[in-house]
């Protein structure tokens, strides 16, 4: 049966994780981004500006995204700290100056002021010799200035999420409140030789409180814990209940990767009989030939997933008669066989998110449960070699997302979830 919609494992449909943590906070753990035991309060103001595609070809397309974050950290071990950082992500392409590129830099401590969803002002200058970069994204331009003024329109939306995370002896609960609104804006950027028209603008706020205990192992995946980023869509269109369930097993192997996934989607739209769609898919990427192949597994090909993300296996003979995945065809390829097994190595990490979003009379309730388990994997994929191969990185994953939607989202509403 054709797969109608999938949600990514780590990032729920209503949450795009882009929260930027200040690098000076001593309580942050390396690698997986989980916070050490203690209490934390993280507040973020966002302001986005976009100018595109006007009739004046002397002006470039420009986007400016500001993330202003203050972190109050009270770790169980070590001193309490307060840190602040303003990151400015800029992209500019075209215009009479013949530029195209983008990056991220840290603005001065007083270059940005924000008043929640009502207004914000950015007056900053970038100097490649003195301005620190952020997100490992250097800015490819010479020195320039940026000035943007935002004014909120008031037609905003909000969401409240509770995340409960566990991995081995570590546990955390995170309460996140997101709010956002569309805005009017005016901007001048010295990369543009003239006044810029405004196509879209937005203001947002994020208020996040952590309570963490225990010590996280380096192998624990964060599963997006702490995400509280910028607005995402409301998921499926229409009202009713929707459920998206998946199990996947992934393995990076020399020269490519192997992925096995089974998907099941249940739709219960208001006033319409329920329906179910799903399939099991095998995806193969070969880096040496720059090919990506994806197949729907049907008998006599076999697969299995162990309970509790304990393991998985696939035994398949793939030829031109094997159905392609719904998202596209595979073209010509030589027949090959896959005989691969995954065995969990731990630790198992899981997260449960409960999110309530709203904008006017529009309401959305979402319950997401996601888990991942590191694994060892080995077997044969004749496309690569007739000899047994072992994975360099492998994992077992599961996802169960329930969504309940009531009302219609107004076109003017900016939902920050």
Is residue 54 in a domain? Answer: yes
**What is the rounded CA–CA span in Å between residue 78 and residue 40?**
13
Co-location of 205 and 249 in the same domain: no
Q: Are residues 187 and 305 in the same domain?
A: no
Output the six-digit token pair for 306. Answer: 């162990």
> Can you give the C-alpha Rg of the chain in angstroms?
24
Q: Is residue 275 part of a domain?
A: yes
Strands of 76-137, DSSP E: 81-94, 99-106, 112-115, 119-126
DSSP-assigned states of every residue in 182-213: EEEEEEEETTSSSPPPPSEEEEEEEEEEEEEE
Q: What pLDDT sits at residue 235?
A: 44
Angstrom distance (rounded) from CA 85 to CA 55: 36
| Tens digits of residue pLDDT in 312-366 | 999 999 999 999 998 878 988 999 999 999 999 999 999 999 999 988 788 999 9
Question: In percent, how much of the chain has pLDDT > 90?
Answer: 70
Name the token pair of 280. 């099991």
Note whether 108 and 251 are same-domain residues.
no
Domain that holds residue 82: 38-213
The enclosing domain of 320 has a CATH number of 2.40.370
Confidence band, pLDDT 50/70/90 cuts, at residue 277: very high
Decide if 303 contacts 314 (C-beta within 8 A): yes
Give SS3 for 311: strand
Q: Is the dihedral of CA 208, 211, 215, 216 positive or negative?
A: negative
Residue-wise pLDDT for 358-412, tens only, equals 887 889 999 999 999 999 999 999 999 999 999 989 999 999 999 999 988 776 6
Does residue 302 register a pLDDT over 90? yes
150 and 258 housed in the same domain: no
pLDDT at 27: 33
- Do both 191 and 282 map to the same domain? no
Domain match, 344 and 380 both: yes
pLDDT of 6 > 70? The answer is no
Query: d(Cα 65, Cα 47) in Å, to the nearest integer?
Result: 6
User: Over 70: is that where the pLDDT of 240 sits?
Assistant: yes
Segments of 215-361 assigned E as strands: 240-253, 256-269, 275-286, 291-296, 302-305, 311-318, 336-344, 349-359
12 domain-assigned: no
CA angle (79 as vertex; 78, 85 as ends), nearest 5: 115
* Cα dist from 379 to 314, 337, 369, 417, whole Å: 10, 11, 30, 41
160 phi, psi to nearest 5 deg: -125, 125
What distance in Å separates the CA atoms of residue 348 and residue 346, rounded to the nearest whole number?
Answer: 5
Stated pTM of the model = 0.76
Peptide bond into 300 cis (omega under 30): yes
| Boundary of a domain, candidates 151, 178, 213 | 213
End-to-end CA distance of the chain: 31
Q: What angle do CA 201, 156, 209 make, to 5 degrees?
A: 100
33 occurs within a structural domain: no
Q: Is residue 75 part of a domain?
A: yes
In a shared domain, residues 76 and 207: yes
pLDDT of residue 237: 54
Residues 314 and 371 in one domain: yes
- The two beta strands, 144-167 and 170-189, are antiparallel
What per-residue confidence (pLDDT) applies to 413? 66
- DSSP classification of residue 309: G
């Amino acid at each position: 049966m054709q797969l109608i919609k999938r949600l990514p494992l780590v990032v729920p449909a209503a949450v795009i994780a882009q929260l930027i943590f200040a690098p000076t906070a001593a309580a942050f753990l390396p690698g997986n981004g989980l916070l050490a035991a203690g209490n934390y309060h993280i507040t973020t103001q966002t302001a986005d500006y976009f100018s595109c595609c006007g009739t004046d070809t002397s002006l470039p397309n420009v986007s400016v995204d500001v993330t202003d974050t203050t972190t109050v950290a009270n770790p169980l071990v070590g001193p309490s700290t307060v840190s602040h950082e303003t990151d400015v992500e800029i992209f500019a392409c075209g215009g009479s100056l013949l530029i195209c590129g983008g990056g991220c830099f840290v603005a001065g401590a007083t270059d940005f002021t924000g008043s929640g969803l009502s207004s914000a002002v950015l007056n900053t200058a970038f100097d490649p010799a003195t301005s620190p970069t952020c997100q490992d994204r250097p800015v490819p331009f010479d020195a320039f200035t940026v000035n943007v003024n935002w004014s909120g329109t008031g037609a905003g939306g909000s969401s409240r999420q509770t995340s409960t995370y566990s991995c081995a002896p570590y546990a955390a609960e995170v309460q996140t409140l997101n709010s956002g609104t569309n805005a009017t804006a005016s901007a001048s950027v010295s990369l543009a030789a003239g006044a810029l028209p405004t196509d879209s603008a937005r203001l947002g706020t994020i208020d996040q409180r952590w309570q963490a205990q225990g010590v996280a192992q380096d192998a624990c995946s964060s599963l997006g814990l702490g995400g509280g980023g910028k607005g995402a869509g409301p998921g499926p269109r229409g009202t009713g209940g929707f459920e998206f369930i998946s199990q996947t097993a992934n393995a990076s192997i020399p020269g490519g990767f192997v992925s096995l996934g089974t998907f099941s989607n249940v739709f219960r739209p208001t006033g319409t009989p329920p329906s179910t769609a799903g399939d099991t898919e095998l995806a193969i990427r070969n880096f040496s030939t720059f090919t990506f192949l994806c197949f729907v597994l049907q008998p006599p090909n076999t697969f299995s997933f162990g309970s509790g993300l304990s393991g998985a296996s696939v035994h398949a003979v793939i030829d031109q008669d094997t159905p392609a995945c719904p998202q596209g065809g595979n073209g010509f390829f030589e027949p090959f066989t896959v005989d691969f097994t995954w065995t969990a190595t731990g630790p198992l990490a899981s997260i449960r998110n409960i999110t309530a979003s709203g904008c006017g009379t529009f309401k959305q309730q979402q319950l997401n449960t996601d888990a991942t388990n590191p694994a060892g994997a080995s077997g044969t994929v004749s496309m690569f070699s007739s000899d047994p191969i072992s994975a360099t990185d492998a994992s077992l994953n599961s996802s169960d997302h329930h969504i309940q939607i009531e009302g219609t989202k107004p076109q003017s509403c900016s939902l920050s979830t």
